[in-house]
Amino acid sequence: MASITGAAAPPREIQGRSLWQDARRRLFANKAAVTSMVILAIVAFLSVVMPFVWPHQFDQVYIDRISCPPPDYLGMTAIFGSQADACPSAVGQGHIFGTDANGRDLFIRVMHGGRVSLSIGVTATFVALLIGVLYGATAGFLGGRIDNYMMRFVDVLYALPYIFFVIILVVVFGRNYILMFIAIGAVEWLTMARIVRGQTLSIRRREFIEAAEAAGVSNWGIIRRHILPNVVGPVIVYVTLTVPAVILAESFLSFLGLGVQEPATSWGVLISDGKDQMESYPWMLIFPAAFMVVTLFCFNFIGDGLRDALDPKDR
């Protein structure tokens, strides 16, 4: 606000705000999104660091501490029962989430599972991103008949209930879980390709593309330098929504017994094991489920926040 009394305040230099600065400002004004980012960062940090510093290993079995409830000082004895009564040998050993049915520390398993689930989420999304963006940009850029055929192929894959596809791929690849990421990613790219193609089609007709063509830039150069940077917005939004979808898909596969193999674990595996024990040992379900649900919540809020921040309709 300019002061009226000061006769000639030196004119403040007006700084242009780029699209991205605008978006960032809007995103950081969104409390839910910011909180989610902080929580997510904490969860990710814990999952990465804890396996190095925690006194227990994720595959270490304590035969005398099978299905021990969390320690009494957490104040949850009403639901879980008392650790001191059920497992005197576990008291003071730092099993803050109790132990699982095989006598392994549940906290470190949840952390280890988080590592696996998050990396599956990120890797599969990256695969989906790579395939989807390249495919969509190519189809949208080339246009015409090639576009038509390429998009028909996407429609065909859409008609295949995708979980069947994943199950078949998992069966084909065996249970190697690195390949599992790729299998899920190879299925999740369809929507990405559609989004990118739509954006590309609309950008394709702009003058700056024409200018680049006139200047003799190669097709690939135009896609890389001019089209891809312009589709980044919707793609980022979709990426934040794909990660939770992938984590859910992984947990679904784990439920069907097609997921990560013992002794390695993931949130899906822990939840799936925990639900079999929930009547007598509810903590085995509650802790991994809480971590997974909170993480999925965070991703969804961040996705919503990004959409609001990047959506040109609201400007």
14 binds other proteins (CB under 8 A): no
Total chain residues near other proteins (CB under 8 A): 36
Retrieve residue 240's tokens: 């934040």
Piece of the chain touching other proteins by CB under 8 A; list 84-92, 120-128, 157-165, 218-226:
157-165
Considering beta carbons, is residue 10 or 174 the nearer one to other proteins?
174
- Token pair 């024409």 is at which residue? 210
**For residues 82, 87, 90 and 92, what is the CA-based torsion angle, rounded to 10 degrees?**
40
Helix (H) or strand (E) holding 281: none
156 binds other proteins (CB under 8 A): yes
Q: Which of 272, 302, 306, 309 binds other proteins (CB under 8 A)?
A: 272
Piece of the chain touching other proteins by CB under 8 A; list 98-106, 164-172, 199-207, 211-219:
164-172
DSSP letters spanning 4-39: SSSTTPPPPPPPP--HHHHHHHHHHH-HHHHHHHHH
Retrieve residue 96's tokens: 């803050």
Q: H helices of the chain, where? A: 19-29, 31-53, 77-80, 83-86, 106-142, 144-159, 162-173, 177-204, 207-214, 219-222, 228-255, 267-277, 283-310
The CB-of-159 to other proteins minimum distance in angstroms stands at: 5
Binding map of other proteins across residues 174-213, x = CB under 8 A, - = no contact: x---------------------------------------
Q: Which of 28, 45, 149, 164 binds other proteins (CB under 8 A)?
A: 164
DSSP label of 73: G
122-153 b/e with 16+ CB inside 10 Å = b?
A: bbbbbbbbebbbbbbbbbbbeeeeebeebbee
252 binds other proteins (CB under 8 A): yes
Considering beta carbons, is residue 77 or 300 the nearer one to other proteins?
300
168 binds other proteins (CB under 8 A): yes
Q: Which of 190, 289, 309, 310 binds other proteins (CB under 8 A)?
A: 289
Which residues of this chain interact with other proteins, rule CB under 8 A? 152-153, 155-156, 158-164, 167-169, 171-172, 174, 244, 248, 251-252, 255-256, 268, 271-272, 275, 278-279, 285, 289, 292-293, 296-297, 300
